[in-house]
Amino acid sequence: MDKTQNMNAAQFDVIVVGSGITGGWAAKELTEAGLKVLLLERGRAIEHQQDYETEMKAPWDMPFRGEGDAALYARDHAVQSLNRHFTEFTQGHFVNDAQNPYQTGPDTAFTWFRSYQLGGRSLTWGRQSYRWSDYDFGANKRDGHGTDWPIRYADLAPWYDKVEDFIGVSGAAEGLPQLPDGKFQPPFALNVVEQAVRERISAQWPERRLTIGRTANLTQEKDGRGLCQSRSICARGCSYGAYFSTQSSTLPAARATGNLTLITDAAVEHLDYDPKTRRVTGVRWIDSKTKTRSSASARMVFLNAGAFNSVHLLLNSASEAMPHGLAGSSGVLGTHIMDHANTLSAAAIMPGFEAWTSFGNRPTGVVIPRYRNMDVMDGAGHTRGFSFQGGALQSTWTAGKREAGLGADFKRRLQKPGPWRMVLVAFADCVPRATNRLTLDRTRSDSNGIPQLRIDFAFGAEENAALAQAKADAAEMLTKAGGKVMFGFDRPGAGGTAIHEMGGARMGHDPAASVLNKWSQAHDVANLFVTDGAQMSSSACQNPSLTYMALTARAAAHAAALLKSGAL
């Protein structure tokens, strides 16, 4: 049973802050190592299956038919409603922007998508699960941007194995050095258009490989979790447990150990630091409902609040001994934040497949992994990579909104699946820059009296050049594959659009130039670990969550060993 009594006198081995993708992993690994763990989650409790309130509802069951109340969204969800997974069905899995404000610099456009609830964004994530390669871990060293990663692929490979084994990732092995294969469940199939496009692209460009997305949706039953039902409504919550979330996977494992204490509605405001021992001694939090304050102590703290919120907490935990923020002696705390530069590179009509359709809603699209700036530097004005995600789809009734016509003939036309189209969306590596940073806005506080986070962020020439090349490449590939390109873009969406915000407490060799060492452990504070996206030193061009999980599992094993050996 979860304990909710006053924690003021309690002593834990570890306090984990945040219950999302990495917090769940930290709780699982640390409790399974025999440690007593307090897991603090700022949002409400959402229990697996019983609290997925809209999961089985149809549009006609909803007050605004699934589209949602635009007036409400303009008032309370101005940012979150821009998320493609935000609908009337899922709005309860995203924050209220009016109640959770943040600030941006004058030249910054940043959409910060957040989910404050048990499970965090593990409930709403896109589930794309990719290994990073040495092209990625070596990127900073090669081109001089940012600081060198203190790890390489070999350090993480066994941890990727462990994570994939547990969460279940479906995908196709392709033998590509830039996107290492994992331990996959059987892949979802390419549809008839995607299969043809794969073959036509490979015939022209053997180094470019269109493959099915590697997704944390089960195609084989696993540990009591059911098969993906091809609904593609994952962000409502999945009672089958068919995609990886804290609720479906890591939380049950952590609870099963008997070593977990979970408190929800606990917004951590401060980490306490003892300058004599150079250790963090505990955390303080505010009950989101009652506004009462509590604290707990522990031998070790894992920060997993989400990249920007973990940095926010470190900045807000500044002290006389650490005036730039906890673990901030290097001066780089809050700096070098990133998000993939993301845009729709090409959309094309794909004629010739009218005799075919598909059935079911596959929970993943396709991916064309990076193929530029690997062993040959062939980027036009950029030194890193971009990859594409997308897929082929047929239109349905919403296409009628763009068409003239009314009456019975119009209705009959909309009864049939529309023409096949294919879209390629680019994700470009985001160069780490000191000027892209998080700070505290001391002139504005949130409802708990904590200074709001301020985001200063801009993409630069590297990302713009990558997206320009991505647009040209995407159009060329779809044209060669028989498509008729309708449009495409070469400028990124606002920062945060990719929902891969990361960095701010980067990992590095040098304590004077980085916040964390190669074990995700603070250089300044030996019993503090930051294992969410904040630790990232570069962004690569593939989705980062699998890497966050692998780094968390690796850090947890190291931390548990240190604790047991008496080194902490």
Provide the pairing of β-strand 37-40 with 260-263. parallel
Query: Per-residue string for binding with other proteins, 188-207, x by CB under 8 A?
Result: xxxxx--x------------
> Which one, of 538, 503, 287, 301, lies nearest residue 430 by Cα?
538
Phi first, then psi: what are they for 182, rounded to 5°? -120, -165
Query: Per-residue string for binding with other proteins, 357-386, x by CB under 8 A?
Result: xxxxxx------------------------
* 220 near other proteins (CB under 8 A): no
Q: Determine the distance from the C-alpha atom of residue 466 to the mean position of all C-alpha atoms in its chain, rounded to a whole number.
A: 22
* CA–CA separation, 269 and 290 (whole Å): 15
* CA–CA separation, 267 and 448 (whole Å): 9
Give the total of residues touching other proteins (CB under 8 A): 64
Considering the complex, state which of residue 88 and residue 265 has its C-beta at the smaller distance from other proteins.
88
* 154 near other proteins (CB under 8 A): no
Q: Contacting other proteins (CB under 8 A), which of 3, 84, 291, 444?
A: 84
Considering the complex, state which of residue 38 and residue 196 has its C-beta at the smaller distance from other proteins.
196
> Which one, of 351, 301, 340, 395, lies nearest residue 130 by Cα?
340
Residue 25 host element (H or E): helix 21-32
Q: What is the CA radius of gyration of the chain?
A: 23
Considering the complex, state which of residue 324 and residue 413 has its C-beta at the smaller distance from other proteins.
413
Contacts of 92 (CB under 8 A, 6+ apart): 53, 54
Q: Report the nearest approach of other proteins to the CB of residue 478 (Å).
A: 16
Within positions 463 to 522, which residues make up the interface with other proteins, using CB under 8 A? none
Q: Contacting other proteins (CB under 8 A), which of 44, 45, 51, 64?
A: 64
Q: Which stretch binds other proteins (CB under 8 A): 55-63, 151-159, 249-257, 528-536?
A: 55-63
* 233 near other proteins (CB under 8 A): yes
CB 34 within 8 A of CB 561: no
Residue with tokens 């061009």: 541
* 49 near other proteins (CB under 8 A): no
Q: Which stretch binds other proteins (CB under 8 A): 71-79, 288-296, 371-379, 436-444?
A: 71-79
The residue ranges of DSSP E strands in 217-321, in sequence order, are 260-263, 266-274, 279-287, 293-303
* CA–CA separation, 353 and 342 (whole Å): 29
* 394 near other proteins (CB under 8 A): yes
Considering the complex, state which of residue 485 and residue 560 has its C-beta at the smaller distance from other proteins.
485
Contacts of 76 (CB under 8 A, 6+ apart): 96, 97, 98, 99
Q: Report the nearest approach of other proteins to the CB of residue 101 (Å).
A: 22
Query: Per-residue string for binding with other proteins, 9-48, x by CB under 8 A?
Result: ----------------------------------------
Q: Contacting other proteins (CB under 8 A), which of 401, 442, 443, 566?
A: 401
CB 524 within 8 A of CB 369: no
Q: Contacting other proteins (CB under 8 A), which of 66, 105, 252, 460?
A: 66
Within positions 403 to 462, which residues make up the interface with other proteins, using CB under 8 A? 403-408, 410-412, 414-418, 421, 423
Provide the pairing of β-strand 37-40 with 11-17. parallel
CB 194 within 8 A of CB 213: no
Residue ranges binding other proteins (CB under 8 A):
56, 58-60, 62-72, 74, 84, 188-192, 195, 229-233, 354-362, 391, 393-408, 410-412, 414-418, 421, 423
